C-alpha cells in the first residue's frame, strides 16, 4: 500500500505495470474526454464547491495522470475521488460519450487496494459494507435499533446531541435512521402472489437488503400494484444483495460474487422481467454484463439477466387501468434519483405513472435531477457534502410546496425525509408506486407513513377511500 504522491512509474521496467494500472483505473473509458467542461454545470460537487478538482473534468484529469504515470496517490487525489457521488450526471451531460461511471468503478478499486486510509475512515467503510448488503446481519442490528427508538433512548440522544460529541458520522447515521418498522412488519413476502384477473405475465421481484426492513410497506405496495397490473409476482426467498454497494465502494470482486448469486437466484424461476423499485439496485443489475465481461461462463448469463431487469416505473407507466384508479387529490413533485435519471435514463416513465392518477397534480421540481446527497452510503461517509446537497434539495422541494415529493429510490427517500423533517416541512417523501397503490386500493390503514414517522392527517389529504 502507498500514500505517496510520487509518480508510480517513471522507468521502463514499470511500463507493463503502468499499462495494467491504466486498465484497472478505467483510463480507456476516459480517453474520449476533450476537456470541454460541458459536464461541469451538472456536477453537484462542482456546483457546491466551484473547485475544478471536484468536477468531472478535474477527476478525469487526475485519474488519467495517475494511469499515465504523471501522478501518484495522495490524500488530495483520494479526497476528490471520494467526494464524487457517482451520480453520473456528468455522463448524461457529456457530448463525447465519456463512460465516467466505469472509470470511477475501476479507479475506486485501485484506491481500495493501494491506498492506506486513516484507521477511522477504513473502519467506518468496513462496517458499512459488511452490514448493509447482508440482510441477516442488518436484521439483527435493526432489531436493536427498533427497541432503541421504542424505549425512547433515541429521543434522549437526539435531544442532547450526545453522539456528535464522539463522531459526526455516527450522529449523522443516527439522524438518518427512519422510524424502524415493527419487526412483525418484516415478514417475508409470499414466494408467489397471483395476478389479479387475467394474467399477462410473470415477474420476479427484488426486495432489497435494507428496504425489506426499513420500508416493508413499499415492497408490499409494489407487489399489490404489479398483481393489479396482471402480473404473477415471484419473490425468491433467499435473495441476497445486488452488489451495488460493493461496486461503488471499489470491491469489484465481492460485487461480482453477489451478481452471480443474484443471477443464479432469479434463473431458478422462469420470469419475463425482474422488477426493482430501488434505482440504485436496478442500475447495478442492468450493468451485470459489463461487470462480468471477463468471465466466459457468466457473461452471457449476465447479459440475459440484465436484459430482463426493469424499474417498476417501466412496467407500470404503460398500464391502461381501465378506470380502476380512484381520484387522489394531492399535489406531488418528483425528485429524479440519479441512478434512475442518469444511470438508466428513465425520466418520462415515473412522471407518466403519476400523471395517470386522476386528481393528482404534478408540480415540476427545479433541479429535479441534481443529487440529494444520498448516493448509497455517501451520506454516511461524506456527511458535510451530503448535508449541503440535501439542504439545496429541500429548498427546491419547499419552493414546489406540495403534499408529497416522490422518488424512486430508498436512499433518496430516507435522505429527503431526513431533510424535510429537520426543516419542519409537512411534505412527505414517498415512492411513485405507493401513490399508484393508494389510487388503486386506498391508503393502507388510512394513512401513509410520514416524515416524522407519524401518520399524516387525513383531512389534509382529503383522500376518498
| Cβ pair 7, 70 in contact under 8 A | yes
Cell numbers representing residue 342 in the block: 442518469
Binding-site member from 2, 6, 96, 366 for ligand SF4 (CB under 6 A): 96
Closer to ligand SF4 by Cβ: residue 41 or 348: 41
The distance of closest approach from Cβ of residue 71 to ligand SF4 in the complex, given in angstroms and rounded to an integer, is 17
Binding-site member from 9, 18, 63, 90 for ligand SF4 (CB under 6 A): 90
Pick the piece of the chain touching ligand SF4 (CB under 6 A) from 65-73, 78-86, 286-294, 319-327: 78-86
Binding-site member from 87, 226, 274, 385 for ligand SF4 (CB under 6 A): 87
Residues near 175 by beta carbon (within 8 Å), at least 6 away in sequence: 158, 418, 422
Closer to ligand SF4 by Cβ: residue 104 or 223: 104
The distance of closest approach from Cβ of residue 378 to ligand SF4 in the complex, given in angstroms and rounded to an integer, is 9
What mask, x for binding ligand SF4 by CB under 6 A, covers residues 38 to 57? xx--xxxx----------xx
Tell me if 140 contacts ligand SF4 by CB under 6 A: no
* Contacts of ligand SF4 in 381-420 (CB under 6 A): none
Closer to ligand SF4 by Cβ: residue 275 or 284: 284
The distance of closest approach from Cβ of residue 163 to ligand SF4 in the complex, given in angstroms and rounded to an integer, is 28
Tell me if 94 contacts ligand SF4 by CB under 6 A: yes
The distance of closest approach from Cβ of residue 385 to ligand SF4 in the complex, given in angstroms and rounded to an integer, is 9
* Contacts of ligand SF4 in 312-351 (CB under 6 A): none
Closer to ligand SF4 by Cβ: residue 142 or 341: 341
* Contacts of ligand SF4 in 19-38 (CB under 6 A): 33-38
Report the C-alpha gap between 416 and 420 in whole angstroms: 6
Which residues in 272-310 are b (16+ Cβ under 10 Å) and which e? ebbbbbbbbbbbbbbbbbbbbeeeeebbebbeebbebbb
Residues that bind ligand SF4 (CB under 6 A): 33-39, 42-45, 56-57, 59-60, 84-90, 93-94, 96, 98, 100
Amino acid at each position: 500500500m502507498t500514500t505517496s504522491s510520487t509518480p508510480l512509474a517513471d522507468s521502463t521496467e514499470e511500463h507493463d505495470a503502468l499499462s495494467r494500472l491504466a486498465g484497472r483505473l478505467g483510463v480507456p473509458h476516459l480517453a474520449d474526454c476533450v476537456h470541454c467542461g460541458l459536464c461541469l454545470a451538472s456536477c453537484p460537487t462542482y456546483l457546491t464547491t466551484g473547485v475544478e478538482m471536484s468536477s468531472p473534468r478535474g477527476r478525469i484529469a487526475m485519474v488519467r495522470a495517475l494511469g499515465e504515470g504523471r501522478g501518484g496517490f495522495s490524500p488530495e487525489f483520494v479526497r476528490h475521488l471520494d467526494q464524487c457521488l457517482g451520480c453520473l450526471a456528468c455522463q448524461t451531460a457529456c457530448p463525447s460519450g465519456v463512460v465516467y461511471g466505469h472509470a470511477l468503478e475501476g479507479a475506486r478499486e485501485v484506491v481500495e487496494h493501494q491506498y492506506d486510509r486513516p484507521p477511522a475512515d477504513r473502519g467506518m467503510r468496513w462496517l458499512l459494507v459488511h452490514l448493509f448488503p447482508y440482510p441477516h446481519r442488518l436484521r439483527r442490528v435493526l432489531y436493536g435499533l427498533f427497541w432503541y427508538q421504542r424505549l425512547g433512548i433515541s429521543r434522549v440522544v437526539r435531544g442532547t446531541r450526545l453522539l456528535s460529541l464522539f463522531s459526526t458520522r455516527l450522529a449523522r447515521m443516527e439522524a438518518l435512521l427512519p422510524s424502524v418498522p415493527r419487526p412483525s412488519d418484516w415478514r417475508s413476502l409470499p414466494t408467489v402472489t397471483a395476478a389479479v384477473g387475467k394474467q399477462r405475465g410473470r415477474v420476479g421481484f427484488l426486495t432489497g437488503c435494507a428496504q425489506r426492513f426499513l420500508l416493508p410497506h413499499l415492497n408490499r405496495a409494489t407487489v399489490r400494484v404489479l398483481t393489479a397490473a396482471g402480473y404473477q409476482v415471484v419473490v425468491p426467498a433467499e435473495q441476497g444483495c445486488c452488489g451495488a454497494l460493493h461496486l461503488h465502494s471499489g470491491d469489484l470482486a465481492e460485487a461480482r460474487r453477489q451478481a452471480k448469486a443474484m443471477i443464479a437466484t432469479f434463473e431458478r424461476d422462469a420470469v419475463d422481467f425482474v422488477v426493482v423499485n430501488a434505482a440504485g439496485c436496478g442500475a447495478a443489475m442492468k450493468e451485470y454484463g459489463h461487470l462480468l465481461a471477463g468471465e466466459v461462463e457468466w457473461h452471457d448469463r449476465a447479459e440475459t439477466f440484465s436484459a430482463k431487469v426493469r424499474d417498476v416505473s417501466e412496467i407500470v407507466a404503460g398500464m391502461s387501468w381501465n378506470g380502476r384508479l380512484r381520484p387522489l387529490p394531492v399535489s406531488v413533485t418528483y425528485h429524479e434519483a440519479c441512478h434512475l435519471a442518469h444511470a438508466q435514463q428513465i425520466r418520462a416513465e415515473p412522471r407518466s405513472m403519476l400523471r395517470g392518477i386522476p386528481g393528482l397534480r404534478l408540480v415540476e421540481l427545479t433541479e429535479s435531477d441534481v443529487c440529494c446527497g444520498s448516493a448509497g452510503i455517501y451520506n454516511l461517509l461524506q456527511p458535510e457534502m451530503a448535508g449541503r446537497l440535501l439542504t439545496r434539495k429541500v429548498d427546491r422541494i419547499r419552493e414546489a410546496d406540495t403534499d408529497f415529493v416522490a422518488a424512486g429510490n430508498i436512499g433518496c427517500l430516507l435522505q429527503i425525509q431526513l431533510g424535510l423533517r429537520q426543516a419542519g416541512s409537512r411534505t412527505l417523501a414517498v415512492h411513485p408506486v405507493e401513490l399508484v397503490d393508494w389510487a388503486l386500493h386506498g391508503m393502507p390503514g388510512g394513512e401513509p407513513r410520514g416524515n416524522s414517522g407519524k401518520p399524516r392527517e387525513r383531512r389534509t389529504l382529503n383522500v376518498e377511500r
